[in-house]
A and B are shown apart, each in its own frame.
Chain A
Amino acid sequence: MLEVKNIYKSYGDVHILNGVSFTMKKDETKVIIGPSGTGKSTLLRCINQLSPPDKGQVWLNGKEITDPKSNINKMREKIGFVFQDFNLFNHLTALRNVSIGLEKVKKIEKDEARKRAMQELTRVGLEAQAAQYPAQLSGGQKQRVGIARALAMDPDLILFDEPTSALDPELIGDVLDVMKSLCGKVAMLVVTHEMGFARNVADEIIFMEGGVIVEQGSPKEMFSNAKMARTREFLGRIGALYGDEEGG
């Protein structure tokens, strides 16, 4: 479904990504872990072309996104993006945040769009907050609206860029629960430090460092039997820091 081939990206002299390739199957969940500044977020932005890669290709459902001739706006409808700092539209209610893509991009009639938006808000447990504005929501609520906004477009793939990093510890669980509930219903590519989520939910874990994939494998392989010394060291350290229990 998603094919990422040999992606390179640099900003000036700083080489962020140095040839990253991997594939994802339909409705699969993959978690990308790795130290800060390793290019994990840049990789997500290269996939949906928010920052187009310098070299390499991204294919979604047999179509090349990186082809300059492809209609990138049409392709992005199929790729949801959930941001670390939410990026909800400040001037719109939670409901309108979710419905605006349906109204303006999918051109769905207003009442129908809002009805569907309400279903997505209900799915993330926020039907009571539909009329509130982003500044009136807690961080965890904002992020759940962010997820509902991505879901409403009925994407094939959702990219999560450290979705819980900006949240208070006690709010992280709600967001992770929503993400878990999506498992197997839509493909998810998640950059996160939440080891509990990675271990319990991911079909595969990708460990990145220095702009390349160091190692990838199932959570079981990675946590108990990583091949590379660097992977074991990183997982050991991050496990001590964040805890490797579920929701930890």
Chain B
Amino acid sequence: MAADFGQFFLNSLPDLLSGLGNTLLLTFISVIAGFLLGIVLALGRVYGNKIVNGLCVGYIELIRGTPLLVQLFIIYFGLPSVGIIFTPIQAALLGLSINSGAYQAEYLRGAIQSVESGQMNAARSLGMNKLQSIQHVILPQALRISIPAWSNEFIYLLQYSSIAYVIQVSELTAEGKFIAAQTFRYLEVFAMIAVIYLMLTIVSSEIIDRIAKRLSIPGIGAAKRLSLRDI
């Protein structure tokens, strides 16, 4: 049985790895595209006028108020009827980025608003315009604050990219389903896939954690860790 599983594992590996490639592609592109979209939306919400703010709120509420699955179906199965056709991977990248952007916007908005208002006053007092103040003073601090929430978003995307299999993207879960359907060894296949997701999650959290420590502001990072220990 053990030897048999070893052989089965080795046979499945190439297909699983090719699926894994797509999973990583979906995760990285969507998290980065969602981040860029999220920054624009968050800045629009915090610093925009009524109209800009309204548009951003509308977008965020629309996306967060509808299931990712429905969004993917609209993009992949719905849009062709108005002449817009995407390949499965394009549709999945678009859907995940649009979705992640809305969630990241809210994380980033919270982080921007948690930077003390005195920081903006100090920047403006030096003669910086609003954009310079945001770029050089507010965002460098807000982005550091948002790293823990952002780490959640990364892990979330890593796992929820599996939903792309419903629009025929051959990512990790889809490949597993294909192998299992042919061999009927559902338990082994999905156990292997679960372990792969778990390892990816552990490794990526560790990497993000190290980045956060590297970027932490001396004096403040230490105080935070101390206060956590005090609790």
Contacts and interface: CB of A to CB of B under 8 A. Distances in A.
Nearest to B223: A135
Interface in B56-79: none
Nearest to A135: B219
Interface string A132-154: 11111000000000000110010
B177 interface: no
Q: How large is the interface on B (under 10, 10 to 19, 20 to 34, 35 or more residues)?
A: 20 to 34
B126 interface: yes
Interface string A98-116: 0011001100000000000
Interface string B135-155: 011001100100000000000
A240 B26 CA distance: 70
Interface residues of A, number: 29
Interface stretch (B16-24, B115-123, B190-198): B115-123
A66 interface: no
Chain B, interface SS category:
helix
Q: Taking chain A's interface residues, is the majority helix, strand, or loop, or is none over half, making it mixed?
A: mixed
B120 to A, nearest CB: 9
17 contacts: A50-B124, A73-B129, A77-B127, A80-B125, A83-B118, A85-B118, A87-B119, A89-B119, A90-B141, A91-B144, A101-B128, A104-B128, A105-B127, A105-B128, A132-B219, A133-B218, A135-B219
Closest 10 A-B residue pairs measured CB to CB?
A135-B219, A77-B127, A87-B118, A81-B125, A87-B122, A101-B126, A136-B219, A76-B127, A105-B127, A133-B218
Interface of A: 48, 50, 73-77, 79-81, 83, 85, 87-91, 100-101, 104-105, 132-136, 149-150, 153
